[in-house]
Chain A
Amino acid sequence: MNIKKLATVTFASAILAFGSGLANANELVDIKKIHFLIPGGPGGGWDGTARGTGEALLKSGKITNASYQNMSGGGGGKAIAYMIETAEKQTDTLMVNSTPIVVRSLTGVFPQSFRDLKPVAGTIADYGAFVVRANSKYTKWQQIIADFKTNPRKVKFSGGSARGSLDHLVAAMAIKAGEADAKRLVYIAYDAGGKAMAGLLSGETAILSTGVGEALAMAKSGEVRILAITAPERLAAIENVPTLTEMGYDVVFANWRGFFAAPSMSDAKVKAYAKLLGAVQETAHWNEIKERNGWVNLYNPDTKFYQFLEKQEQTIGTLMRELGFLR
């Protein structure tokens, strides 16, 4: 660090120290820049969420500077470890993450959990959807449960991710809510959502467990039908699709996406970030980007987000223990 830079920093911190003496915490934290840490590679879901959110914040003038850093590895574990190890330096950093952070810390993929970070806010969500071919014999979710009860081997679920990941867990949750033995669920794993969809259309599999976002377009063009969703109430885009809850199955599950800060960030600053992420959802720029990506708003700021995560961890943990994924 050269002398000029040192002087600037000293000067800046002097002003800050002076400022904090006068103003209260909320006014002090005026966020102008965000550095987004993305635990996956360019082009993925996390990447899109971070860059889309950054774009909306910039375009609406809420911040003046956004930067992005991709750090893949270990299903997101690399980035979490980095946030914690270099916490002191991560004063403007928000890490994007989603439901798998809960699943992967339960299974011990990485030793940390959301508790080792400061959860800032959940911003968007996708709900689970159960999809069949347009010409499938199934027209109601109840028929699937009934068939499963007679012979689970004949009712195989498929999904675009590995066994034990979300698509599988959501299917198990729904089966369990139908008072059937979720342990006997046969799940066929594909390595990408598109391939799982092709498998469904080719007749290889009968039922696909996926996100509403991924099934929406295909359902609209009439190639597939969505039989049930895991949202708390019906979604505007697919008015005619019932929720599991209204059919009497007590399952609500949101695959959220949200942001986390380094553990050393002050509560006041976390609150300010949470507020910012909420405020941007009111803007036209956000709506435009939301439409473009097919997002659904699910805004959960700081403490509410923490409670939400705790509850989700409990639900998933119980289920995974029952299915034998956890001991």
Chain B
Amino acid sequence: MSEGLLLGLQTALSMQNILFVIFGCFVGTFIGMLPGLGPITAIALMIPITYGIDPSSGMILMAGVYYGAIFGGSTSSILINAPGVAGTVATSFDGYPMALQGQAGKALALAAYSSFCGGTIAAIFLLIAAPALAKVSLSFQSPDYFALLLLGLTAIAAFSSKGSFLKSIMMTLFGLMLSTVGTDQASGVERFTFGKIDLLDGISFLLIAMSMFALSEALMSIIRKKKDDDAMKQPTPDVGSLKLTTSEIKEVAPTIARSSVLGFFVGVLPGAGATIASFLAYGMERNLASAKDKLKFGKGSIRGLAAPETANNAACSGSFVPLLTLGIPGSGTTAVMLGALMAYGIQPGPRLLIDNPEVFWSVIVSMYVGNVVLLVINLPLIPYIARALTLPKQLLTVLILFFSLIGVYLVSFNTFDIVMMAGFAVVAIGLRLLNFSMSPLILGFILGGMLEQNLRRSLTLFDGSISFMWERPITLTILVLTALVLLMPLLSALKKTDKQSPEKEVAEL
């Protein structure tokens, strides 16, 4: 292994390849920052360039672009509530409230540190255990994924504080319903398409995220204009400040450690990936938090920001396990990378370590280098990026409208999508005025499709019986965990009333 690592270091640390990583991270960050353009687009754009250079350099360049684009995606989630990739949706849950409270710089810096730690810790796992983990990545089957997704769905609990429990459930159901639009995989039947061919492939995540989050947010700022004018008169806090206090660092350190481990293992599963990892980490962190800290989630909790940011980066590194050791792409991004590798005539799989060790090791080494480079080039940039928020509202609103519409159009080149976005934005504004939160909706929408497919597949595999829920140990374990997470608040609430009632009596006396 040390020999391989040396080989990887030699390859990755050549002058040319370091330049490729820096270039990749830089380009990736900028592409990722534009709402709508995520790592898949960024990597697809790099493919023609990689044809001209050798495989190791090509993979290093693409890995740089990949990390850059993921980090850039967090930036738009935090600053303007426009998550361009499903994996950064959970980042916006607490990142955007932080930015609204004038802590944009801190939020971005925390995102950068978390990404760095998540990516680096996961790369170490990858280095030590990649070949051994190949088996783990194949141990999960559809029933297990179904249970895992159900667990992920419990993260909506974070949005059900202060009596809006029913409202979050309603929005989650609305999200689940939206995810059923399009051709049903399991039966091949069209659902809720109203004969429109534009709806045949379903509604894209990007469209929902951009219209319900970014567009409606920008338009709401026009409706709320008067209040904002008052707010503007207050002295603007230093949005560019990156400072984290020692107590804050102490608070997030365990979060980052836990989320790295969770993120990496979820990333290793070909059917899960960064999105599920980020939701699971968010849910886990909230469940572990004390009753007082729990209330902060969804309103700008630093733990709520650090957890998904760490987990999605760790999961990205984790997703290289099935790609490199089995040749199975677990996500859209790794599928594009697989295509690029095969174009070089390199077949990822069990023989990669034997046939092309330099590719294997240089990818792993480039993960460390990429993470360091990302931190180094982005930290100095954050104050400038964060200042985007101090732009006059008239300009910022227009820019957000422009980028979110363009972002969606550039992916599909379909004008019907623009009309749909306008419709969804209007619906979202109506719901927001009635104090509904958009986050449970997007959570339901993202997880809904996968949840249904895995459930349907499990049912087909077990000939229509629901016995898969207890016949597979992994499924059963996760389901029990899910039930615990759901029942815990109830139990603790019961305990509290027991304890509190005598105290109250004393106080009254």
Contacts and interface: CB of A to CB of B under 8 A. Distances in A.
Interface of A: 41-43, 48, 69-75, 77-78, 81, 109-110, 153, 156, 162-165, 168, 186, 188-192, 194-195, 197-199, 201-205, 217-218, 220-223, 291-294, 325
B457 A223 contact: no
A221 B350 contact: yes
A194 B330 contact: yes
Contact of A162 (B188, B327, B460): B188
A308 B271 CA distance: 38
Contacts of B185: 162-163, 189-191
B156 interface: no
B228 interface: no
A204 B328 contact: no
The list of the 10 closest CB pairs from A to B, nearest first, reads A74-B197, A164-B188, A163-B188, A77-B197, A198-B270, A202-B138, A221-B349, A204-B141, A194-B329, A189-B185
Interface in B251-301: 270-271
Given A194-B330, A202-B140, A221 B347 contact: yes
A233 to B, nearest CB: 25
B398 to A, nearest CB: 27
B200 A75 contact: yes
Interface in B449-467: 453, 457, 460-461, 463
B460 A186 contact: yes
Interface residues of B, number: 50
A162 B184 contact: yes
Contact of B188 (A72, A190, A294, A325): A325
A73 B141 contact: no
Nearest to A289: B343
Given A43-B44, A204-B141, A192 B327 contact: no
B161 interface: no
A110 B40 CA distance: 29
B412 A73 contact: yes
Contacts of A205: 461
Contacts of B41: 42
B460 A198 contact: no
B200 A77 contact: yes
Interface in B99-154: 137-142
B335 to A, nearest CB: 6
B326 interface: yes
B183 interface: yes
A72 B190 CA distance: 17
Interface in B324-340: 326-330, 335-336, 338-339
A38 B413 CA distance: 11
A250 B138 CA distance: 36
21 contacts: A70-B413, A73-B200, A73-B412, A73-B414, A74-B197, A77-B200, A78-B414, A153-B463, A162-B183, A163-B186, A188-B461, A189-B188, A191-B453, A194-B329, A198-B137, A201-B138, A201-B326, A203-B141, A217-B349, A221-B347, A221-B349
Contacts of A190: 185, 453, 457
B24 interface: no
A205 B142 CA distance: 10
Contacts of B201: 72-75
B16 to A, nearest CB: 23
Nearest to A80: B197
B411 interface: yes
Given A218-B349, A220-B347, A198 B412 contact: no
B342 interface: yes
Interface string B407-448: 000011110100000000000000000000000000000000
A233 B330 CA distance: 33
Contact of A199 (B40, B142, B327, B413): B142
B326 A223 contact: yes
A109 B183 CA distance: 10
Nearest to B350: A221
Contact of B343 (A75, A203, A220, A292): A292
A110 B326 CA distance: 38
Nearest to B183: A162
A218 B322 CA distance: 13
A294 B270 contact: no
Nearest to B416: A73
Residue of B40, B44, B184, B328 with most chain A CB atoms under a 10 A cut-off: B328
A222 B137 CA distance: 18
B186 A189 contact: yes
Given A221-B327, A223-B326, A195 B200 contact: no
A170 B127 CA distance: 41
A110 B412 CA distance: 18
Contact of B414 (A72, A186, A197): A72
A220 B349 CA distance: 10
A143 B261 CA distance: 44
Nearest to A213: B342
Contacts of A220: 347
Contacts of A81: 197
A198 B138 CA distance: 7
B351 interface: yes
Given A69-B413, A198-B137, 17 more contacts: A71-B413, A71-B414, A72-B412, A73-B200, A73-B412, A73-B414, A74-B201, A77-B200, A78-B198, A156-B460, A194-B329, A194-B338, A199-B142, A217-B342, A221-B349, A291-B345, A292-B342
